[in-house]
């Protein structure tokens, strides 16, 4: 399967703590994207990092990309109960409009 792997599968933390999720992928990529999904609803785009970028920030989100290791991480700082959701990484292969998703991390933030 081309599907990427994410770890951990599940993560439980207290409000205010940081949450880190990791993603590994298998092919050459144009970019890597992170999405959030609440309770089986649609996916919400969080951040996109291009293959020539190493780090990107957006609000409380920080994403890193290491193309030599084919891996990425998503850090959510100062987490809130509203951050409770599943988080997916997705890679877009060169010359395609096709996303390959990771297996996802279920994040639970307790108030």
Partner 1 sequence: KAGVTQTPRYLIKTRGQQVTLSCSPISGHRSVSWYQQTPGQGLQFLFEYFSETQRNKGNFPGRFSGRQFSNSRSEMNVSTLELGDSALYLCATSSTDGYTFGSGTRLTVV
Residues that bind partner 1 (CB under 8 A): 3, 33, 35, 40-45, 48, 88, 90, 96-104
Q: Are 90 and 101 in contact (CB under 8 A)?
A: yes
- Please report how close the Cβ of residue 50 comes to partner 1 at its closest, in angstroms: 10
| Residue 111 C-beta: closest distance to partner 1, Å | 26
**Minimum CB distance to partner 1 smaller for 5 or for 17:** 5
Shortest Cβ 17–partner 1 spacing (Å): 27
Asked whether the beta carbons of 45 and 35 are under 8 A apart, the reply is yes
> Of 106, 87, 108, 109, which Cα lies nearest the Cα of 32?
87
From CA 69, how far away is CA 1, in angstroms rounded?
18
Minimum CB separation from partner 1 for residue 14, in Å?
27
CB 91 within 8 A of CB 31: yes
The rounded distance, in Å, linking the Cα atoms of 20 and 79 is 11
Q: Which is nearer to partner 1, 41 or 69 (CB)?
A: 41
């Amino acid at each position: 399967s081309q599907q990427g792997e994410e770890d951990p599968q599940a993560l439980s933390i207290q409000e205010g703590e940081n949450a880190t999720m990791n993603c590994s992928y298998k092919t050459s990529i144009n970019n890597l994207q992170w999405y959030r999904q609440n309770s089986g609803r649609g996916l919400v785009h969080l951040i996109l990092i291009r293959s020539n970028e190493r780090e990107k920030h957006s609000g409380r989100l920080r994403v890193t990309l290491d193309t030599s290791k084919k891996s990425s991480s998503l850090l959510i700082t100062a987490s809130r109960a509203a951050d409770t959701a599943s988080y997916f990484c997705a890679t877009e292969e060169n010359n395609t409009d096709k996303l390959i998703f990771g297996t996802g991390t279920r994040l639970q933030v307790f108030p």
